[in-house]
Structure 1
Amino acid sequence: MADKLSELTGGCQCGAVRYRVTGEVGYPHLCHCRMCQKASGNFFLPLIGAAKDEFHWTRGEPSWFHSSKPVRRGFCGNCGTPLSFETVGDDYIAFTHGSLDDVAAVTPVEQSGVEGRVPFYAGLFSLRETPSSRDDLPGGIKDVATTNRQHPDHDTENWSCEAI
């Protein structure tokens, strides 16, 4: 394990599943393997490890998918957010970096599964950048902001994610 942090919290997009990490975290990395690409719907899956006895689901429980015999992946059964990766029977769990309330609290230290890295990965940071305030959505960015059902980036006493 690497970084000693006082406490980290996170959860899914809708707030139905939340977690807290109370101890050390380690091996923050980007996994480029094809299985992680499929599980995240992305080019790679950023993961961080924690001891299971220091990782606690604080609201709800994830749904699980066994992506292989020894590995299961936790996700929110309500909104679909990928939340965890664990080898069954191991004392550690990996959780998704992007599900942290403070994503910048932990910095990745390695890239794994690089044989699956997409060929254009190295050029991603040279792409043109556009702020999210760009108004190219139906109803505009204002419509997104006023109808946002995303859970805030902190623990809440209660939270309900009703359908619009």
Structure 2
Amino acid sequence: MQNKTHEGSCLCGAVQISIAGELPQPDACHCSQCRKQSGHYFASTDIPESALTIEGEDNICWYPSSEKVRRGFCRICGSTLFWDPIHHDKIAVAMGLFDGATETSLWSHIFVADKGDYYNIEDGVLQKDQ
């Protein structure tokens, strides 16, 4: 069996990613910070850092959104890239970066108690207040 590789990039292509292996099912985070950064809610998949290869890493700008988390975006086009819990061996990769089929599906909505009032979540996927 061949090892899967999932590739993607930011809008301008200055940051390119490659992930070895299957993509875990993503979460959709509705917290106010994710909504402000992404413009709606942030769908991401948690990847072991060892499975992630980045080209154009010098084009990533990191914003420390708390003492425990930093958020990565492209310094050229502004695309949201990562949610990185500092001092952990995983990183959340934005689902919108991937080129082609991801062969996964959303498994939960998180921080739904903080979601915007302008939309409803009606896809039948698990919803968590936190």
Q: TM-score normalised to the size of structure 2?
A: 0.83
> Which residue of 39, 42, 45 corresponds with 1:41?
39
Report the AA paired with residue 14 of structure 1: C
Aligned positions of 1:12-161 closer than 5 A: 12-42=10-40, 44-61=41-58, 62-102=60-100, 104-122=102-120
The structure with the larger Rg is 1
The answer (yes or no) to whether the contact 2:31–2:112 under 8 Å persists in 1 is yes
Distance change in 2, residues 1:35/1:103 (3 Å): farther
The alignment yields a C-alpha RMSD, in angstroms, of 2.0
Displacement of 1:39: 1.2
* Aligned 8 A contact 1:97 1:103 in 2: no
The CA deviation at 1:123 is 7.6
AA of the residue aligned to 1:46: A
Identify unmatched segments of 5+ residues in structure 1.
126-164
CA shift for structure 1 position 58:
2.3
Large movers: runs of 4+ above 3 Å: none
User: Which digits, 9 at most, give the CA deviation of each residue in 1:26-81, with x for residues without a partner?
Assistant: 24011000010011122x11111100000110233411001111100110000000
Contact kept? 2:5, 2:20, Cα under 8 Å: yes
Bigger fraction of residues in strand: 2
| Residue identity opposite 1:94 in structure 2 | A
Q: What is the distance in 1 between the residues matched to 2:88 and 2:81? A: 17
Relative to total residues, which structure has the larger helix share, 1 or 2? 1
Aligned residue pairs, count: 120
The secondary structure found in structure 2 opposite 1:26 is coil
Uncovered stretches (5+) of structure 2, i.e. residues with no partner = 124-130
Q: Which amino acid aligns with 2:79?
A: T
Moved more, 62-71 or 51-60: 51-60
